[in-house]
Amino acid sequence: MSPFGQRLADAVAARGPLCVGIDPHGPLLQAWGLPDSPEGLARFTDAVVDALADTVAVLKPQLAFYERHGSRGLAVLEDAVARARAAGAVVLLDAKRGDIGSTMDAYADYLRPGHPLAVDAMTVSPFLGPGSLQPAVDTARLHGGGLFVLARTSNPDAGTLQHAVAGERSVAQVVVDTVRGWNTPGWVVGDPLPDVAAGRDLASRFGPATGSLGVVVGATLQELDVDLDGLGGPILAPGLGAQGGSAADLRRLFGADRAVVPTVSRDVLSAGPDPARLRAAADRWTAELVG
C-alpha cells in the first residue's frame, strides 16, 4: 500500500480537500427523523456514505458516537469504513487515542490492514509524552497509515495546557516540532527537537512528498500561535461552518502553501437525510475551498 500522505494527496487532487466529519449524535439522528438506536445509526451512516464516499476526499467518523451503541454500533462503523474506502474515500478515524506501551500499540491496530476496522489514518493525543505515540508511529510507517496529532485546538480552554511553556517552547509547539521530527529522516524521539530549518526542504503542500504524520490545528483560532514551517505533513483543520470557521480563516491562518485538510460536519450533515442535498452541501464547501 502506498503511504498515507500519497493516498491523501491523490484523493485531494481528484476530489478537492474537503473532509466531512460523520458525527451521528442523538440530536442529529432525531433531526433526521431517526431513532437513537443501532438501527437509526445504521440508516444515518449508510445515507452519508452512499451520498459522499465517491465524491469527498476524506470522511472522518467520530468513534465515540458508534461506541455508545456497543458492539452493534461498532459493526455499523466497520461496514461503513469498508464501503467508504472501497468507494475511494480516505477514512480518518477520529479516535483521539493516547496511551503508553502495549495499550497504544493496540489502539494503533486500527491502522493494520487486517483489522476489522482498518482505516487510513487516525487522530491521537500526545499528552502522555511524545514517546507514548511511538507504537502508533511505528504501525503507521509499517502499514502505510497516517496520524494526526492534537497540537493546537481551538476549543475555548485549550490554551490552559497547550500554551504552557516547556523550556522555550509552548507545549503545542513541542508537539508540532515532534511531528516535524517524525517526518525528518533519521530523527527519533529523544534526539533534540529539530529546528524549523531542518524540515524546510520537505514538501508541506499536497504532492508526492506529502508526509503521513500530521497535526490538528483548529480553523477557528484568532491567530496562528505555532510555527508550522517545514512540518512535512498535513494539517487537519476542524471547525468550519457551524463552529464559526470559514475558507477565509484557512487562508488567513495557513496561507496557500500548506497541506491543509479542512473539516466540516454540521453544515453538511444538517442537509440530510436527502442524499442530493447532502452532496450539494459538500459540493458547495468543496467549491468554496478550491475557489
Residue 203 has pLDDT above 50, yes or no: no
β-pair partners for 166: 169
Task: Identify the pLDDT of residue 60.
Answer: 98
Q: Of 43 and 230, which is predicted with more confidence?
A: 43
Please confirm, yes or no, whether 96 is among the known catalytic residues: yes
Q: pLDDT per residue over 25-60, tens digit each? A: 999 999 999 999 999 999 999 999 999 999 999 999
Place of cell 516535524: 180
Task: Identify the pLDDT of residue 201.
Answer: 46
Query: What rounded mean pLDDT belongs to the chain?
Result: 92
Task: Identify the pLDDT of residue 110.
Answer: 98
* Residue from 270, 277, 275, 268 nearest 31 by CA: 270
Q: Of 203 and 41, which is predicted with more confidence?
A: 41
Residue 225 has pLDDT above 50, yes or no: yes
Q: pLDDT per residue over 122-163, tens digit each? A: 999 998 998 899 999 999 999 999 999 999 998 888 778 878
CB of 147 closer than 8 Å to CB of 120? no
Task: Identify the pLDDT of residue 260.
Answer: 96
Residue 198 has pLDDT above 70, yes or no: no
Distance (Å, rounded) from C-alpha 79 to C-alpha 63? 13
Q: pLDDT per residue over 65-104, tens digit each? A: 999 999 999 999 999 999 999 999 999 999 999 999 999 9
- Cα-trace Rg, the chain: 18
Task: Identify the pLDDT of residue 195.
Answer: 64
Task: Identify the pLDDT of residue 144.
Answer: 96
Residue 247 has pLDDT above 80, yes or no: yes
Q: Are strands 169-170 and 165-166 parallel, antiparallel or unpaired?
A: antiparallel
Which H helix or E strand runs over 150? strand 146-152
Which residue among 83, 96, 115, 266 is the active-site one?
A: 96
Quick check: helix, strand or coil at residue 192? Answer: coil
Q: pLDDT per residue over 164-179, tens digit each? A: 887 788 999 999 999 9
CB of 155 closer than 8 Å to CB of 221? no
Domains in the chain with CATH codes = 4-290 (3.20.20.70)
